[in-house]
Structure 1
């Protein structure tokens, strides 16, 4: 294993594809190992903190006078401000510095998570609701900084295995999503509202000195290309729509799945968190496989994007299930659908980053931390758009038409994005085929012209 300071391992200041350490040796350098440990701990802690609200906060907010629509807005505002933060941080990553951005974001996020734990002391009504919004907004800005910086650092350290690394680290994201709801539910049931937030906030804060020590610093010159040039590329725009549709599906479940399970199956709060395991665990297990396949066989990415979206659409039709199917809603069926949805989500989400990155490089974007910052900011921002729309739409539809129809309508997003993405790839294939045929004919004529005189 190479030392981090060796020429093969050094990524600092190099904007080329070999900027990540030790790719040629096929073994992890010390620098790469530190990046992996740092990213894994960040994914675990932040996802636990993000998912801990699901089992009990909607019920607690209801007691404080918040409607289902308002609860959806509290969940959704997080994503809206993460969107804005990601766009800004993605653009100015090279000026702020990826390491500083990540550490500062974790410090802010950990502090406001603890603050969220004392909101139950506020009086019922507008004061409680306003403070929920303010705390979630500040947390979103911190988390946006963390995600944008982390993705850029990982892509810089592992330029030839982006999907594999991101997919593997989704195990820790999934583990955080797995542990967060049941841990939050049981801590809430045993110790009350404050303890889950204080514990998780302290865990995130403890990761600040860890990352301060472990993370390398990657420097880069500002890039020449603008964010809007990236987002207006047709393929990038369509993949952005895919990310929005998938994210909105996840966000849709946050505020209302626990309410539906409590109402339909009468489970205690501690057990409601276990229902979320089906989705999070299957996503965590399947993501590394799809990441590996996306890197080793890039041509499979298009199939993952298309079919992953279509399968997700089917899952949301069956989540209720939608009344026109005349299938009785049962707990085992709900968990099974969530398991399948976790696999289809991994199939769709993991290829998006390397697909956008390769499209950017094909269209003249320089290979370096500046482009990685733009791509990371875009992916994080589009994820936030969906995460804002999902809870907001979910809370509203749940109040108006019930969970079954609301879930089916939500599934239309992924159905449309899957079909549109499939049509685009068919058009891209036909265009490439038409362009290659004349070139082959010209090449054949040139070969014949050169060879015929020798044969006479």
Structure 2
């Protein structure tokens, strides 16, 4: 917090330099808080009056305090306390405008939309728009790009590598952004990443006329540019969400994950329609233009963040030394292995096993997307409010592993139940359960990584800590997104889709059991520490009693 002495009023209880919370008490304010919180008590200038407050606090900026953009260090006072301050200022000869004035920055903290402050609401809208446009970019060219690539004489392996270049580049972007977030500035990274992604999208749309010998390499270059830009933007955006929302960050991310399913549904439909109307270039041109519009909207919505050049860069991978972060990273990896594997190989399985039409395959994928999208805000709220995120994550991983083994179902289940043919209804039910459980696995991972970052203290700056968490999360997402279609596809070619799903389910079950053992160990350690504290407290009471009573006490004989 900076102080501007040039605008300070005449000496009064409010014109003193309050560089420590105790200074407020010396001026007669018994319980002042900083930021958007409640004020329970206040006193007059003589320190004698006290009054219970049950109303929400109202942020006011004192005239001698100069707060920078989004410092979060404005003084919060209740409405009645503000009146007391104005009255006190008028009694001391100071005008009310000098004493208490609501600034624009404070009004952003006070006004609420659906339970969120105006700054939080703006950041939430920016995250939703960024998520929707990213999901649209993922699916908009999926219906027609393999056909165009095949006309360019590309093999299936080359086409798969073009798709995999996006998450591969994302690993670099997430690590780079997580390390240098505070040095460069979160807002700048978000806007720059969106610009890179939009530019790569437009360039990819121009490659239809390129020579065949260069088409593959140019497509890979454009996908790399898109992957770096998107991963950088999301890494910085998640860090901003953690900073602005605090304990409600997972609820906000869950809501955005739910709404971004709109992009996953609209993207393929829009891409196929635009391609049939205007050819190869039109879908990419429309998506690039929409990305630029979202960029300018986010530039207006996202608050500025402080840049600190002197902060040391730390690799987010260091968080893996903490078991909370290590398990969370593994949960994220296995979750996106499931998502990318089903997205890549699920359609062929449904066609060969049940002979489903393209419409029914779309319904299958829609069930998967909707159950995931509907479950994320629920599990995000549970992880935020109930403080049981690790337990929810473990339970959902266990049941998700069972559902994955039933997705085919696997041969072991076929022999167990005596089924001669695969059950179509079981596949639809299982994919719904898998989508729901993935929401419960993914949402609590953010909170677990934040616990690791605060415990290890790799960065003192709060935004830098959130940058490390976001960087590790996006790195884990990219690894899972790469492994799903590549490793999963390789295993599926040997064992089949059903048995590969069962193998992934077995991995999920094993991970859930390991996390259960970790939780049991933490619970035992907590109980031992509690018992030690209780015994030390009793020992302290006995020592104090002996000091009071003295050591030489007369014995009482019957």
TM-score w.r.t. structure 1 length?
Answer: 0.87
How do residues 388-407 of structure 1 correspond to structure 2 at under 5 angstroms?
A: 388-407=482-501
Partners of 1:427 and 1:11 in 2: CA distance: 44
Task: Specify the alignment match of 1:445 in structure 2.
Answer: 539
Shift of 1:135: 2.1
In structure 2, the CA distance between the partners of 1:382 and 1:429, relative to structure 1 (3 Å rule), is same
How do residues 253-332 of structure 1 correspond to structure 2 at under 5 angstroms?
A: 253-267=342-356, 269=358, 272-298=361-387, 300-326=388-414, 327=419, 328-332=421-425
How do residues 239-254 of structure 1 correspond to structure 2 at under 5 angstroms?
A: 239-254=328-343
Instruction: Answer yes or no: is 1:51 the counterpart of 2:109.
Output: no
Shift of 1:83: 0.8
In structure 2, the CA distance between the partners of 1:398 and 1:173, relative to structure 1 (3 Å rule), is same
- 2:193 paired residue among 91, 101, 105: 105
Partners of 1:59 and 1:267 in 2: CA distance: 21
Shift of 1:24: 11
Instruction: Answer yes or no: is 1:12 the counterpart of 2:70.
Output: yes
Q: Which has the higher helix share?
A: 1
- Hey, which bits of structure 1, 4+ residues long, moved more than 6 A? 8-11, 18-21, 23-26
Partners of 1:198 and 1:274 in 2: CA distance: 28
- 2:122 paired residue among 25, 34, 50: 34
In structure 2, the CA distance between the partners of 1:118 and 1:36, relative to structure 1 (3 Å rule), is same
Given that 1:189 and 1:269 are in contact with CA atoms closer than 8 Å, whether structure 2 keeps it comes out as no
Given that 2:183 and 2:311 are in contact with CA atoms closer than 8 Å, whether structure 1 keeps it comes out as no
Given that 1:68 and 1:399 are in contact with CA atoms closer than 8 Å, whether structure 2 keeps it comes out as no
Measured against aligned partners, the alpha-carbon deviations of 1:265-320 in whole angstroms (never above 9, x if no partner) come to 5555566444321121111111111111111111x111111112122222221222
Q: Decide which structure has the larger Cα Rg and report it.
A: 2
How many residue pairs were aligned? 452
Partners of 1:55 and 1:307 in 2: CA distance: 36
How do residues 375-386 of structure 1 correspond to structure 2 at under 5 angstroms?
A: 375-386=469-480
Given that 2:394 and 2:515 are in contact with CA atoms closer than 8 Å, whether structure 1 keeps it comes out as yes
Partners of 1:272 and 1:191 in 2: CA distance: 26
Q: Which has the higher strand share?
A: 2
Partners of 1:319 and 1:185 in 2: CA distance: 29
Q: Which moved more, 1:47-56 or 1:367-376?
A: 47-56
> 1:92 is paired with a residue of what secondary structure?
helix
Q: Which moved more, 1:76-85 or 1:412-421?
A: 412-421
Relative contact order, higher structure (CA 8 A, sep 6+):
1
Given that 1:186 and 1:270 are in contact with CA atoms closer than 8 Å, whether structure 2 keeps it comes out as no
Shift of 1:207: 0.7
In structure 2, the CA distance between the partners of 1:226 and 1:68, relative to structure 1 (3 Å rule), is same
Instruction: Answer yes or no: is 1:134 the counterpart of 2:134.
Output: no
Partners of 2:168 and 2:268 in 1: CA distance: 22
Given that 1:56 and 1:269 are in contact with CA atoms closer than 8 Å, whether structure 2 keeps it comes out as no
Task: Specify the alignment match of 1:171 in structure 2.
Answer: 258
Partners of 1:256 and 1:63 in 2: CA distance: 22
Partners of 1:415 and 1:62 in 2: CA distance: 39
Given that 2:376 and 2:443 are in contact with CA atoms closer than 8 Å, whether structure 1 keeps it comes out as yes
Shift of 1:70: 4.1
Partners of 1:398 and 1:436 in 2: CA distance: 50
Given that 2:184 and 2:307 are in contact with CA atoms closer than 8 Å, whether structure 1 keeps it comes out as no
Task: Specify the alignment match of 2:443 in structure 1.
Answer: 350
Given that 2:180 and 2:313 are in contact with CA atoms closer than 8 Å, whether structure 1 keeps it comes out as no
- 2:432 paired residue among 322, 339, 342: 339
In structure 2, the CA distance between the partners of 1:123 and 1:394, relative to structure 1 (3 Å rule), is farther
Measured against aligned partners, the alpha-carbon deviations of 1:27-84 in whole angstroms (never above 9, x if no partner) come to 5333222211111111111112113355554566556555554444333232121011
Given that 1:301 and 1:351 are in contact with CA atoms closer than 8 Å, whether structure 2 keeps it comes out as yes
Partners of 2:125 and 2:429 in 1: CA distance: 32
- 2:293 paired residue among 202, 206, 210: 206
Partners of 1:414 and 1:53 in 2: CA distance: 31
Partners of 1:261 and 1:187 in 2: CA distance: 27
Task: Specify the alignment match of 1:93 in structure 2.
Answer: 181
Given that 1:220 and 1:369 are in contact with CA atoms closer than 8 Å, whether structure 2 keeps it comes out as no
Given that 1:394 and 1:406 are in contact with CA atoms closer than 8 Å, whether structure 2 keeps it comes out as yes
Instruction: Answer yes or no: is 1:409 the counterpart of 2:503.
Output: yes
> 1:320 is paired with a residue of what secondary structure?
coil
TM-score w.r.t. structure 2 length?
Answer: 0.72
Task: Specify the alignment match of 1:156 in structure 2.
Answer: 243
Measured against aligned partners, the alpha-carbon deviations of 1:383-429 in whole angstroms (never above 9, x if no partner) come to 11111111111232233332222222233332232222222111221
Cα RMSD (Å): 3.4
Measured against aligned partners, the alpha-carbon deviations of 1:154-173 in whole angstroms (never above 9, x if no partner) come to 11111221111111211122
Shift of 1:174: 2.5
> 1:22 is paired with a residue of what secondary structure?
helix
- 2:168 paired residue among 53, 73, 80: 80
Q: Which moved more, 1:102-111 or 1:38-47?
A: 102-111
> 1:351 is paired with a residue of what secondary structure?
helix
Partners of 1:379 and 1:400 in 2: CA distance: 31
